[in-house]
Structures are given as structure tokens and as C-alpha cells.
Amino acid sequence: MRRKRTLFLASLATVAAVGTAWIALPASAAASTATLRTVSDWGSGWQDEVVVTNGGSAATTSWKVEFDLPAGATIGSFWDTEMTASGSHRAFTNRSWNGTIPVDGKVTFGFVGSGGQPLNCKLNGRPCGGDETTVPAAPATTAPAVTPTRTATVTPTTAAPVPTATATATATATKTATKAATVPPREDLLPVTVTNKTGRGDAVHLYVLGVNLDTGKLGYVNQAGTFTPWTGGAAVPVAAPDVSINGPANGGSTTIRVPRNLSGRLYFSFGRKLDFRLSTDGLVQPAPWAGGDPNHDILFDWSEFTVNSSGLWLNSSQVDMFAVPHIVSVTGGSGTTSSTGEVVAGGRQKVINAIKADADFAKSVVTGPDGTVLRVLAPGKAADAGLMSPAYLDPYIASAWKAYTSKSLTVTPFTDRPDVKYTGRTSGDVMSFTDSSGKVVASFTKPSTANVWGCDGALGAPNDQVVGPIARTLCAALQRTTLGRLDVQPSGTAADFYQGSPANLYAKVIHANMTDGKAYAFAFDDVQNQESLVHDGDPRTAAITFSPF
């Protein structure tokens, strides 16, 4: 889930110690060393940092660190370095301002990539670590989650929206009810009421899964609010115990108590229970876009949440798919109820019809054996499943990237800090950004369509105050096809979005069919507050309401 600046996935890694892999030159050399560590690993990508240390007797005037990448690996954004690529080989050299390293001094640079970790390190042309050429990666300390979890099958957590300091804006719901006559009392366990207004007769099954923020353990919550850690995972995933909660029949409601220091997902399925598995790495969650997933023919969806000492964040997510439209709401200590995520009348079918009518997107509508439309896959998931072109956005990306060879892009990523500005220009396939002093602070290789759909790879956003905020701004602008047209980012209004060609029809029609225009149609849809998220610092009750369809 992404909100304010971005909310990152929490995992067991947040309580893990940071390891460091040392890569040392032979003692007879200039005695410089290089150190690689993995700062974050979120399954579909990772952030690495390299420290070059001058242990010699004289200052250096330049440095060069080289790696090979294993098959399928890529490196996208990078900072405090220049990068050149030749096949699978990557060479990192100093910027103009950080080539000189005094005796015992250090220089640090970083990059975001995906796939396997770098191999065969060289520092200034000499092998690192003698005969040992493999550069092992250190354990991660944080895991950005693709906003709502955007990948894969085995994940160390469900989802964990956790607010951070780098905020683009404060998320606000656009529908706010009048204050209640009686303010609900504050309870140790947060009551979350699920109401079924679908008009459907299917049995409903609910699941509350997440990470205990006090212990870092993954587990599930029963209806009464008791958290139980998972146990019994295996190298070959085994069936998780049935932890479903009976959900409401049409027209009814079910209330679940949720512990106040939990971050995760509330799943809901119709007609059949979901199939969860446990591995040694964590919980295997439903991924119906993946071949062979046992949940492919089940109608289901989820909301994502974090409830902690700073309050409740709750969102309806369409980052991976659009399936069961639902309203999320929270009532706070002031008695005010905020809500978002409501579709217009017939909105689900309108989204389906619009997607079916477009030849490029039509196959992303997935129908069950009985003819029920189970979901519309987000374009990245549809491309992964072979249901749409993996190069769909390439012509637009190339045009937008090239536009800044002859003009400048201004990125102002913080609405509360308008004085923070970065200027971007493109040279070849690399767009580099300078700060107000003219110092190059970040560079991005031209992203692929997959990088834009996932806001990862070349657009990977580390959890920092510079590169991450620029990356998420670029991704949002490319998703909305405003990059190349609007030269200050973020900027524009909803009327300016999705006007380029080719455009993200999926995001466009979902936003168009929300009563308040808000949705989480891609990972950084919170840029300019376009996301379907509610937050209250003193939550008393929360609710999820399934819309008619």
C-alpha cells in the first residue's frame, strides 16, 4: 500500500540484523576495499549499497567498481555514481564530486535492481576477494511492498502500510459523513464490520492475515481478535490451516476484532474458501494471474490495512486486480466517518465492458467456468500471464524519455516542501537529476513497460528522501501519460491523466467509475492523492462494505 509519500511493506526483515559482505583487494594493491550490502529486498526487486574505502597511503582521484549480472537480472535507478552497461556487465564510476577519497575515507553509492545479485566484482580493475568472485548479498532490513503486495506467490508478509516521513501529501477521503450523535468508545481491539450488499447468494469467507508489529511474526486473527503465528511451513509449500471466518450473507454484517498493532490484509472470497500455503519463507498468498494457482477460479478480493499507535490506514486495492468493489470507512474519536472506494451504479460492469471493448486489454478479463467474471487483471499481471503485450507502453515511454533531451523536467516530490526541487535531463537512455546546487543526485535508465506497470526495476524506489520520491513521481507520471507533456511533476488534474497514447486504460476506467474518482489502480496512485485510502489517528470502528454487482 502506498500513501502519503509511500507506505512500505513491513516484514520479518524489519527486525533482522543487517549483514555485510566484504569484498577486499589483495594486500599488495592500493589497499582499497569495496563493500556490498542489500539494504532492501521485496521479492520482485532489491536495493543495494556499495561502500568504497581508501585504505592506502595516498588519496584517490577516481574509482571504478564493476559487476556482472546473472541472467535475467537488471539494474535500474542509481545514485552518487555513473553507470555504463555492456551486455550483462555494469561499470560504476565516480561522479565529478566524489572521485577523491582521502586516506581512510569512504564513498557510498547505490542502485535498485531485480533478479540475481551482482557477481564478479572488480575495484579499479583488480579482482575483489582473491579467488572468490561471487558477491553475496546481505539480509534485507526492510521490504517495500509493491504497493499493496504486488508480486508473487511466496511473500514474507501480507501487506503493511506504514507511514514514513517522505510524504507527497496527506491522504484524505473525499466522502466524509456528518459527526455521529454518539462517539464509539475506544476498545483495545478495533471492531471492523464487513457488510454484504452484493445481492449475491454465495457463502462469504473472511480472512485476517498479517504481521504482528510488536513481534514481527506473521500470522492470522480469529473473529474475536486473537493473533496466532503461523507454524509448520516447508520447503515444498504445505496447506495452511483453515483460518477462515464465516462472512455475512447478502444483506447481513459480520464484525471482526482486529489487534491494534497489526498490518496486513483482510481477504474475502465468495462461494469457495481460499487456498493458502506455508513455505519456509512465509505465507503463499493467492496469485490467480500465475499459472496453476489453485485460487484461479475463485471470486475473491482484499483490503489492506495497518493499525498502530498512529492510527488506522485502510484501503481498497486494485493494484493487482479489480474484482469485488467495496467501500472502506473509518469512524474516529471525533465521531466523523470517512469513506472511499464506492463505485458508481453498475460500476463493476462498466469497467468490465470498457476493458472487453479494447483489443489490447480484452484478454485481461478473467471469467470462471460458470460464466461469472472473476476479475480484471491489472496490465502488469495480464502481461505476466501472457494476456497482453509486454511491450504495450514502449512507444510512449520512448517518446516521453526522449522529450527531456531538449528540455528539463522539474520534480517537486513533497507538497509540504515546495522548495525541494530536482531537475532532470536525458542523455541516451539515462535521465539524471540534479539538486539546487547542480549536484547529480539520481539517475534512471529508460524503463520497460513492465517497470512502469510494477513501479519497480528501473523505477525502483528505495526508502530514502531523494531517489525514492523521484522514482515514484516518474512512475506516476508514466502511468498517467503526463511525462513529456507536463514538465513539472507531479502536476495536472484528473482531466490531464491518461490522455497520452498508448495509455493505461485499466487505471483510467477504474478511476472513472468511482464516485469520488479515487482508486489504487497502480502502486504509486497516491501521488497527488488519487488513492482510495482512509486514515484516522484515533480509530474507534472501521468497515468494509461490498457494493452491489
Residue that is written with C-alpha cell 497520452 in the block: 500
Phi, psi of 278 (to 5 degrees): -120, 130
Q: Give the Cβ contact number of residue 130 at 10 Å.
A: 9
Of 82, 48, 77, nearest to 65 (Cα)? 82
The reported pLDDT for the residue numbered 402 is 97
The reported pLDDT for the residue numbered 210 is 96
Q: State the Cα–Cα distance between residues 215 and 232, nearest whole angstrom.
A: 18
Question: Could you give the domains of the chain?
Answer: 17-127 (2.60.40.290), 168-390+512-546 (2.60.110.10), 394-501 (3.30.920.50)
Q: Which grid cell sits at 151?
A: 508480486
The reported pLDDT for the residue numbered 129 is 55
Cβ–Cβ under 8 Å, residues 289 and 320: yes
**Residue 174 DSSP class:** S
Q: What is the pLDDT along the chain (549 residues), one digit of tens a residue?
A: 443 323 323 333 332 322 333 222 222 334 688 888 888 777 778 889 898 888 888 888 899 999 999 998 889 888 889 888 888 999 999 988 888 998 888 899 999 888 899 998 888 888 665 333 334 433 333 333 333 333 333 333 333 343 333 333 334 445 555 466 689 999 999 999 999 999 999 999 999 999 999 999 999 999 999 999 999 999 999 999 999 999 999 999 999 999 999 999 999 999 999 999 999 888 999 999 998 899 999 999 999 999 999 999 999 999 999 999 999 999 999 999 999 999 999 999 999 999 999 999 999 999 999 999 999 999 999 999 999 999 999 999 999 999 999 999 999 999 889 999 999 999 999 999 999 999 999 999 999 999 999 999 899 888 889 999 999 999 999 999 999 999 999 999 999 999 999 999 999 999 999 999 999 999 999 999 999 999 999 999 999 999 999
Does residue 349 sit in helix, strand or coil? helix
The reported pLDDT for the residue numbered 74 is 87
Q: Which grid cell sits at 308?
A: 498502530
Sign of the dihedral defined by the CA atoms of residues 462, 25, 69, 62, in that order: positive
By annotation, the residues acting in catalysis are 304, 320
The reported pLDDT for the residue numbered 414 is 93
Cβ–Cβ under 8 Å, residues 500 and 484: yes
SS (H, E, C) 393-450: CHHHHHHHHHHCCCCCEEECCCCCCCCCCEEEEEECCEEEEECCCCCEEEEEECCCHH
Q: Give the Cβ contact number of residue 540 at 10 Å.
A: 21
